[in-house]
Every structure is written in C-alpha cells, then in structure tokens.
Structure 1
Amino acid sequence: MDAIHFPKSCHVDQIIKDLDQQGFSIIDDVYPQEYIHALVEECTSHLNQFREAAIQNGVISKIRSDHILWINEDLEKAQQHIKMLESLGEELNQAFFLGIREVEAHFACYNAGEFYALHRDNPQQKNDRVISAVYYLHEDWQEDWGGELRLQDKNDQWHIIPPKPNRIALFQSDLLHEVLKAKHQRLSITAWLRSGNSIW
C-alpha cells in the first residue's frame, strides 16, 4: 500500500491556525477506505492482546477503564499512521518551534460503559508530550453511542467532539479533556507528538 497522507482537502495551514487560536483542530475524512479497512482489521485482530490501561506498574487508576495496545514495528498498518503524524510534526515544528522528535501511540478500545475522566496528557509539563492526536478508526458510529471527547480549549471554552469515523482530533497535550462513557465499542489510535524542549 502506498504511503498514507492527509487528504488534499485538509490544509496544514488550517491546522496550524486552529492550534494557534484555540489549541485544537479537527480533521475529517482523513484516509481512503482501503486503508481504514486494513487498519480496523489490524486493530480488531489483536484485541485479545489489549490490557487494562488503568493498571500501570501494578497500581490501579480509578480515572480510566479503557483497554490499550502499544503500537510497535509489527503493526504495519498503524505504523503508516504514525509516519503521517511524524510528517505533520515537522510542519508543526516549523510553525511553532516545538522540537517534536518522535511519536508514541497505542490502539485504544472503549467497551460499553468505559470512560476516561478529566485529565491532561502533559500535567505540569512533566513529560515530553506536546500534541495529542486521537484518530477514530471504527467504521460506524451513531450519535447516541457516547464516547465523545470533551475538551477545554486554550481560551477556557469547552467543546464536545463526537468520535466520528475517520476523524482526527489534534490538541495541545496540556489541555484538560476527558472521554465520556461509551455505550458501544469505540476504537481509536491515541498518539502523542513528543519533544524534549517544547514551548508554546
């Protein structure tokens, strides 16, 4: 399969403008259907390897109940998505001098009743996460299925972003956000564009 890119209709200039003005940007109709099908198949074929995200180093967190699988070199379809984000990171470096150097990512599965309470991906600048990117890879979603991203932008305004299939939500990793309780299985790739010397 050829390299994956943002669609021509999605201008990087608009992403940069959105991030500058409100700290987040929404991109729809990101990938061709052939790639989406392959990516969903790769994700669902590994569901039995997902682990509870709430358990880290033997400690159970009460703020989340989703399941995740970190993406490695063996997950070839997901790696194409990561390479696209790396390319986007280069564009953001030029615009904001972020020093983005790498992308880390995992598949995420929210089964019915699962959620992720209010949090920041980069609390008090304690890690190198600069930009968060959530790609919704389920192929169907209905309005009453929940699972929305609730996000506070850099102007302290709140937004509710439905997990529309083939959509990417990009936002500053220090923004407060949550995943509302899902009523149906919700699949995504959560990624972070990382830098050792990020500034805004």
Structure 2
Amino acid sequence: MEVIFLPKSWNVDQILDDLDQHGFAIIDDVYPPEYIHALTEECTSHLTQFRQAAIQNGVMNQIRSDHILWINEDLNIAQHHIESLKQLSQNLNRAFYLGINDIEAHFACYNAGEFYALHRDNPQGKNGRMISTVYYLHAEWQDDWGGQLHLQDKNNHWHIIQPQPNRIAMFQSDLLHEVIKAKHQRLSITAWLRSDQLRL
C-alpha cells in the first residue's frame, strides 16, 4: 500500500499535548467525505459477518453486548485508517517512547440497547495495548441517542465524549472507560496501538 500521510485536520501537537496533560485527545473532521462514504460502505456491506463480541471461546460474558468484525488485509478501505494510525504512532513514539509497532482493529456495531461496561483495555500493563482509539463512522448522531464514551482521564476526572460522526477519541489504554447503552445503531472502528505484534 502507498504511504498514507496524516490528514491536515490532525493537529499532532495538540494531540500530543492533550495526551500528555489528560491522557486522552479528540480529533474532529478526521477524513474527507469521499473516504468516509467508502469506509461506511465497506463496514455496512459486511454487517452480516459481525459476531457478538461478548462471546469468547464459546463463553458468554456480561460486560459487553456489541458486535464486531476484525479488520484484516481484505478490508482495503479500512486499511487506510490503519495506515494513518501507524503514521501517528511514529509521533507518539518520539514523544512518549511507547514503542508502538503494531495496530489491532475491528469494526464495531452497537445496536439499540447494546453497551460496554466499565473496563480498562490494558489493566495493570497486562498486554501490549498502549493507546486506544475509536473512530465514529455513522453518518449522523444526536446527543439523546446514547452510545457516549464515558472516560476517566489520568487526573481522575470523568468525561462524556459524544460519538460525533468523523471523530476520533484517543486515550491511554489503561484508563477506565465504558460505552453507555446506545438507543440507535452506532458504527465505529476501534483500534489499539500496541507495543507488541499480535496476529489474528
């Protein structure tokens, strides 16, 4: 794949400062409309292949109820998003010495009534996830549709982050967070910037 440079709307200095000060950052107006359309088409055309995320190794847990599809090389449009995150990772490594060298990502669909309870993506440094990112892919969103990211920052302050279309929420993977129950279908790409290499 050709080299993908970060979109001009990504203010890297602001991202680095927000991560340093608060442990999370928000990027709005992430991609141009033509890419958003193509990515949404790729996501929605594969919805029948999504599996319930709460079922792992045949066992049901109660912490989450969304549906996911892991992103691999066959999902060509989503790979451009992964490449953008790889480019950003170079900046994160230079600033914070995180050693990020791989991206793990999946499409996520929260249908009405679905949620993800309080958790950490990397509790007590037990895995290689360093930075978590959520890119909101749905075409529109209203504040009363639920589906918000409820996040505790590195200073122990809580934030409600609205899943606005074409927005990335990015945060340290060891921070406590949850996805509030959605009242409308919510589409996204969740990606983890890892300091190890994970092959699905």
TM over 0.5: yes
Match of 1:111 in 2: 111
Match of 2:38 in 1: 38
Q: Which amino acid aligns with 2:94?
A: Q
- Tell me the distance in 1 between the aligned counterparts of 2:64 and 2:6: 30
Percent identical residues: 75
Q: What 5-or-longer segments of structure 2 have no aligned partner?
A: none
Q: Which amino acid aligns with 1:140?
A: E
Report if aligned partners of 1:7, 1:29 keep a CA contact under 8 Å in 2. Answer: no
Match of 2:55 in 1: 55
Q: TM-score, normalised by structure 1?
A: 0.95
Q: CA deviation at 1:176?
A: 0.1
- Tell me the distance in 2 between the aligned counterparts of 1:27 and 1:3: 21
> 1:82-108 CA distances to partner (integer Å, 9 max, x unpaired)?
000011001100000110000010000
Q: What 5-or-longer segments of structure 1 have no aligned partner?
A: none
Match of 2:156 in 1: 156
Match of 1:29 in 2: 29
Q: CA deviation at 1:4?
A: 5.1
Compare 6-15 and 95-104 and name the one that shifted more.
6-15
Match of 1:147 in 2: 147
Report if aligned partners of 1:53, 1:64 keep a CA contact under 8 Å in 2. Answer: yes
Match of 2:85 in 1: 85
Alignment of 1:168-187 (within 5 A): 168-187=168-187
SS at match of 1:25: strand
SS at match of 1:100: coil
Shift of the 42–51 alpha-carbon distance from structure 1 to 2, 3 Å rule, reads same
Report if aligned partners of 1:3, 1:80 keep a CA contact under 8 Å in 2. Answer: no
Report if aligned partners of 1:6, 1:30 keep a CA contact under 8 Å in 2. Answer: no
Q: Which amino acid aligns with 1:151?
A: L
> 1:95-149 CA distances to partner (integer Å, 9 max, x unpaired)?
0011000001000000000000000000121110000010001111111111000
Shift of the 4–147 alpha-carbon distance from structure 1 to 2, 3 Å rule, reads farther
SS at match of 2:124: helix
Q: TM-score, normalised by structure 2?
A: 0.95
- Tell me the distance in 1 between the aligned counterparts of 2:38 and 2:48: 18
Compare 89-98 and 2-11 and name the one that shifted more.
2-11
- Aligned alpha-carbon RMSD (Å): 1.3
Q: How many pairs align?
A: 196
Shift of the 161–5 alpha-carbon distance from structure 1 to 2, 3 Å rule, reads farther
Q: Which amino acid aligns with 1:104?
A: E
Q: CA deviation at 1:58?
A: 1.2
Match of 1:19 in 2: 19
Match of 1:127 in 2: 127
Q: CA deviation at 1:10?
A: 2.6
SS at match of 2:101: strand
> 1:140-191 CA distances to partner (integer Å, 9 max, x unpaired)?
1111111000000000000000000000000000000000000000000000
Report if aligned partners of 1:149, 1:160 keep a CA contact under 8 Å in 2. Answer: yes
Q: Which amino acid aligns with 2:176?
A: L
Match of 2:138 in 1: 138
Q: CA deviation at 1:3?
A: 6.2
Match of 1:8 in 2: 8
Q: CA deviation at 1:11?
A: 1.4
Q: Which amino acid aligns with 1:37?
A: H
